[in-house]
Amino acid sequence: MPSHKIGRVLETLPRFLGCGQMDANSSTFRPVQMAMVLIAGQRYLQAIVAVGCARDNRQVAERRKSVTEMNSISDHKCRTTRVKKALWTVGFSSPQPLRHRAVTGSAQPSAIRSDPPQEGAIRRFAGSSRGYSTHYPVKQSNSHGFSLPELLITLLVAMILTGIAIPAVNGAMTSMRLNSTVSTITAAVSRTRYRAIMDSQPYTVVLTTPGNSYVVTNVTTNTADAAVPLPSQGVAVNGGTNATYTFTLCPNGTVYGAGGTCPGTTLPPALSATYQGRQTDINVSSVGNVTTTIVH
């Protein structure tokens, strides 16, 4: 303690003892009183020191308590995170071994150890620092194979859907093949007619069955283009008999039958395309109009 504080303490001792101001030259000063003053001063100083030590100890205890609480919270978070990771590892069949730590009797973490996951086992994880533990069941995989009834039902449904789809697909394919053949014939007549008008020369379109091909010929120059096959050879034109059907297209846009002369004396031939029970008629008028009629 500093000297000036000790001096103040000695000055207050007489008042503490109730004897007024203490003077060494006073006639009332006695050795007995001096001893009493010293004893009282010693006790007074001990009381002051005890109060200061108690205050310091209280502050230290509060700091230790705060640090202990923070360590406990951090340890609980760390333990919770490790438990979640371990449950995730076991539940989803990770190849990595299960890692956890055991905390017993204190908030300090112990050594980390590795245990291989076991199917159907219960993994034990440490609880809080109070000593109790929590058991977490290992999540089992729910993936199994298909049973025989499930496979049979699946095959039955697939067969039913296939049986429903086959007629629809066959009908669509039949219509597509018939329509493509009819469109090719009508397009050949129309394009050759416009070609005759543009060149101011007569042209002929000769359709041959059952080969199902046509040839365009310039009558003036007697030049024939390469034979063009129809898209579907299975479509029968006029019953598929061995015959040729000729269209004569004049520069003025009129259309006649066989002969190759403009004007001609024969009418354009009528055609009928059939395929798997379906029929479409093709008619070309003398003025060049091409029409198709679906019979069935």
Domain ranges in the chain are: 1-141, 175-294
pLDDT above 70 coverage of the chain, percent: 64
- Provide the pLDDT for residue 76: 66
CB 237 within 8 A of CB 203: no
Say yes or no to pLDDT of 101 above 50.
no
Rg (CA), the chain: 58
Q: How far apart are CA 137 and CA 242, in angstroms?
A: 84
Say yes or no to pLDDT of 58 above 70.
yes
pLDDT-based confidence at 267, cuts 50/70/90?
very high
- Provide the pLDDT for residue 96: 47
- Provide the pLDDT for residue 54: 76
Say yes or no to pLDDT of 137 above 80.
no
pLDDT-based confidence at 36, cuts 50/70/90?
confident
What average pLDDT does this structure show over 162-179? 92
Q: How far apart are CA 211 and CA 208, in angstroms?
A: 6
Relative orientation angle of helices 31-91 and 3-17, to the nearest 10 degrees: 120
Say yes or no to pLDDT of 195 above 70.
yes
C-alpha 198: how far from chain center: 60
pLDDT-based confidence at 45, cuts 50/70/90?
confident
Q: What is the pTM of this model?
A: 0.50
In this structure, the strands spanning 255-256 and 236-237 are unpaired
Q: Which CATH architecture has domain 175-294?
A: 3-Layer(bab) Sandwich (3.55)
Alpha helix (H) residue ranges in the chain = 3-17, 31-91, 148-199
